[in-house]
Amino acid sequence: MRKILLILILLFVNINYACAFSLKKEAQTPKIIQSEQYANISNQANVLYAENDIKNALNLFLSIPDEERTAPNWLLIGNIMQDQGKIDEAVFMYNKSIEADENFYKAYYNLGNLYLHDGRPNMAIEQYKKVIKLKPEYAYAHYNLACAYIKLGKYSKAKYELLTAIDLKNTVADFYYNLAYVYKQLNKEKNAKTYIDYYNKLIENQI
């Protein structure tokens, strides 16, 4: 019954697509080699951040001089600023992360997410494309790029990115759900039904 209901929702109602995925706590080897003192502070701050002790984590990150901060340091400060609703400060921190390591794809990714959630899909697209150039196998970058295209009504481009995301990682239910939504917008009901079926099967297996 639940499966039939989901199909009916997709085929006869203008549904909302699923949210973009965020990247918060994935580990990264820093490009800048910190002195032992600041490396220890950085490690302590990372532990506090992982434990959701945000206030003390931020205080430790801010105690590290700018020239000693690694790209991941700047990234996590940016995450905290964004979570606090300090959008301009978060953008600044993510850009500092990129300055510290221009190949640090996670900074581009989080900056793209910020722009996407802040209603700036065109700017988000620029960032996701940089992520894909650096890490083409990163499925979530393709997925979030598709989300940005959906916001702009560019459904054919969204379809391509969603199909790519599924090719790279075929176990994420939201990939199929959004692809079904895109096919619905493209008036391809049969394809929409196919992918909502895939979505339902993945959801059922998670229960």
| Residue 99 shares a structural domain with residue 160 | no
Asked if residue 146 lies in contact with residue 161, where contact means CB atoms within 8 angstroms, the answer is: yes
Does any domain span residue 90? Answer: yes
Does any domain span residue 98? Answer: yes
Does any domain span residue 114? Answer: no
DSSP 8-32: HHHHHS-PPPPPPPP--S-----SS
| Residue 149 shares a structural domain with residue 79 | no
Does any domain span residue 117? Answer: no
Q: How far lies 99's CA from each of 69, 96, 108, in Å?
A: 11, 5, 11
- pLDDT, residue 35, reads 86
- pLDDT, residue 2, reads 39
Q: Model confidence over 98-111: pLDDT tens digits?
A: 999 999 999 999 99
Residue 3 in this model has a pLDDT that exceeds 50: no
What is the tally of structural domains in the chain?
A: 2
Read off the CATH number of the domain in which 66 is found.
1.25.40.10
Q: Closest by alpha carbon to 80, among 101, 108, 49, 104? A: 49
**What global pTM score does this model have?**
0.85
| Residue 148 shares a structural domain with residue 87 | no
Does any domain span residue 111? Answer: no
Does any domain span residue 206? Answer: yes
Structural domain harbouring 33: 29-103
| Residue 3 shares a structural domain with residue 47 | no
Q: Report the percentage of the chain scoring pLDDT > 90.
A: 81
| Residue 166 shares a structural domain with residue 205 | yes
Residue 10 in this model has a pLDDT that exceeds 90: no
